Structure 1
Amino acid sequence: EQVHECRDNGYLLSSRKIGSGTFSKVYLAYATHERLQHSPKLASDLRGKHHAMVAIKIISTAEAPVEFSQKFLPCEIASLNATYKHLNVVQLYETYQNNQRSYLVLELAARGDLLEHINAVSEHPGRPGLEEEARRLFWQLVSAVAHCHSSGIVHRDLKCENILLDDQGLLKLTDFGFANRSGLRNSLLSTFCGSVAYTAPEILMSKKHNGEQADLWSLGIILYAMVTGKRPFKERRPHHMLHLTRRGPTSGQALGGYSCEPLPTECQDLIRGLLELRPRARLDVQQVAAHCWMLPAAHAL
């Protein structure tokens, strides 16, 4: 049935599942020649990629709670439309739906997520160029988040599993299901979203918070994972996690109470600036991009 629905809309759905969520599955698909002729956005993007492959996210709206179908899914679609077009944000080409399912036709990023990449890299800790690779990817992530924030979107669920890599090694930020419009520059949010291990302490304390500042904390967790191969705080329970974050980065090479392989001083400084307990004292996205540890990546672009 899903195959026929995709075919009717100009896509050949394969049996290869490349992702899944609570109410969704993501499959590899191919845009037909006819579809490319009728969708300039899709055609222009795939022309540069030299293939006709896309990812189709199929959401079972009939099985999902009403809140999901009426709140989170529309937010995801609106956020993807608002952030079109950036090299490091997954592109939404189009959507279609019926009374059972919604379909999101997305840019394909076939090399898996950042967590898989980190785990693979961690198996070869002495490999040359690991720090440079982390810097290159983190620069792309910061660029994607800066673009989202400047477009009025806070992601609210930044984590390694929501960052994909494509066949060219480009980073693609995805999964905007918890995203929200930041609205006024200093407006505060009150909803808990995201994964505990990446969640800013002000959210764990159930405080009203600035979504952009909370995203920056999550960037610090991701950078730590990229350069050490592990998260600084492995706790899944919010109250225990809050206790760990309050201990804060300790001296030497131990950040957040967890020891790690010695990191360059500049990288430690950047992580500490992001994992700052006081949201207003946290580095903002422009300060991150201009940080001395980031500069070699900027010059390489």
Structure 2
Amino acid sequence: MRSCSKREADRKTFMEQVQESKENGYLLSSRKIGSGAFSKVYLGYATQEKLRQNYKLASDLRSKRHSMVAIKIISTAKAPLEYSRKFLPREIHSLNATYKHINVVQLYEMYRNSKRTYLVLELASRGDLLEHINATSDRRECPGLEEEEARRLFRQIVSAVAHCHNVGIVHRDLKCENILLDERGFIKLTDFGFANRYSLKSSLMNTFCGSVAYTAPEILMCKKYNGELADLWSLGVILYAMVTGKLPFKERQPHKMLHVIKQGLSFRQPISPECQDLIQGLLQLKPGARLGLQQVATHRWMLPATSAIFQQALKAAGRDPEKPSAEGTWWLHAHPAPVPSTGSPQLGVLG
């Protein structure tokens, strides 16, 4: 009896959401494509009238040749007050601040009422990076992605994070589940629920956030931390997961995770020395010892096919090719690498 009443309440809530979306120019489908603690994400469609009203939306969807969007519905009436007053405004600010980058999910519009807040977002229809790694591992009958594919994807991820940092946003929840792929195979960084702005590079933060498996050790130790350097640690975990199909450190409890991290990093399958060097450069226990994004962008594993041209360009500009510089980050922004289209990934669990 209780389950029947719950289903009826859910149906009523959904019909309210359909009506509210229609009033704002969107057709909400029943296909749920994601969910969070206080939110659900549905596939939606922009009406022709909405496309005439919203230039940002129309311009982007015209290039995609469809009218599909992702509509994130946050139950602000049920969420804690701190979430509604602190984290949700930060998420919206971060999405607006990072507009427009090809590897960051776009926020087209927001509308709200006393019960709910709606975020109309760019649709990334091929699922998340975790699903892609698991599906590819099954297809290859070998854990992880081939290094060539991992390189293409990781370059785009680094480009997205560099863009965020350049506009004063730290993500603080970088993980495979928060990296999506669109229908063209482009990476889309998403879920800025824990993101925060900063004005000084030396600014320190103290909010414990993120997933333990991807969280920097200084956060696990409950120390004040630099958000940019914490993001760099998470990038190292992501790259390790991409090329091995496994997480580098596995523990649920923060204090146990710290013990595992301090035991050191190990590679249990063949990975190129260059890739190992990049991962180790990011997964440094001391935050200041981690490779910066400029160094990551110019790392020899990142640019093997273009290294000769790139080094010649640096020499022609009077720069030392071995010295990390902003050119690497610029190159990534100017040349986001597309990923060849493959079949839709199936849900899996990274080991």
Q: CA deviation at 1:260?
A: 2.0
Which one of the candidate residues 43, 62, 65 is aligned to 2:58? Answer: 43
Matched, 1:63 2:82: no
Q: CA deviation at 1:125?
A: 4.1
2:177 & 2:306 partners in 1: Cα distance? 25
TM-score, structure 1 normalization: 0.95
Partner of 2:321: none
Shift in CA distance, 36/280, structure 1 to aligned 2, threshold 3 Å: same
1:7 & 1:99 partners in 2: Cα distance? 17
Partner of 2:190: 174
* Equivalenced residues, count: 293
Consecutive unaligned residues in structure 1, runs of 5 or more:
250-254
1:141 & 1:207 partners in 2: Cα distance? 27
Contact 1:139 1:298 in 2 (8 A): no
Contact 2:144 2:245 in 1 (8 A): no
Partner of 2:94: 79
Matched, 1:205 2:221: yes
Contact 1:136 1:297 in 2 (8 A): no
Partner of 1:9: 24
- One-letter identity of the residue aligned with 1:237: Q
Partner of 2:269: 261
Q: CA deviation at 1:244?
A: 1.0
Partner of 1:119: 134
Structure-to-structure mapping, 1:1-301, within 5 angstroms: 1-123=16-138, 124-125=140-141, 130-249=146-265, 255=266, 259-296=267-304, 301=337
Corresponding residue SS for 1:295: coil
Contact 2:136 2:144 in 1 (8 A): no
Q: CA deviation at 1:83?
A: 0.3
Corresponding residue SS for 2:164: helix
Contact 1:248 1:277 in 2 (8 A): no
Corresponding residue SS for 1:112: coil
- One-letter identity of the residue aligned with 1:264: S
Shift in CA distance, 297/230, structure 1 to aligned 2, threshold 3 Å: farther
- Deviation string 1:247-296 (CA, Å, 9 cap, x unpaired) is 222xxxxx2xxx42110000000000000011001001111111000004
2:240 & 2:24 partners in 1: Cα distance? 43
Q: CA deviation at 1:152?
A: 0.1
Q: CA deviation at 1:129?
A: 7.7
- Deviation string 1:120-167 (CA, Å, 9 cap, x unpaired) is 111114599821111100000000000000010000000001010111
Shift in CA distance, 223/55, structure 1 to aligned 2, threshold 3 Å: same
Q: CA deviation at 1:245?
A: 1.0
Q: CA deviation at 1:85?
A: 0.4
Deviating above 3 A after TM superposition, structure 1's stretches of 4 or more consecutive aligned residues are 125-129, 296-301
1:245 & 1:60 partners in 2: Cα distance? 37
Contact 1:135 1:297 in 2 (8 A): no
Q: CA deviation at 1:236?
A: 1.1
Contact 1:199 1:217 in 2 (8 A): yes
Contact 2:145 2:243 in 1 (8 A): no
Greater RCO (Cα-Cα under 8 Å, separation 6 or more): 2
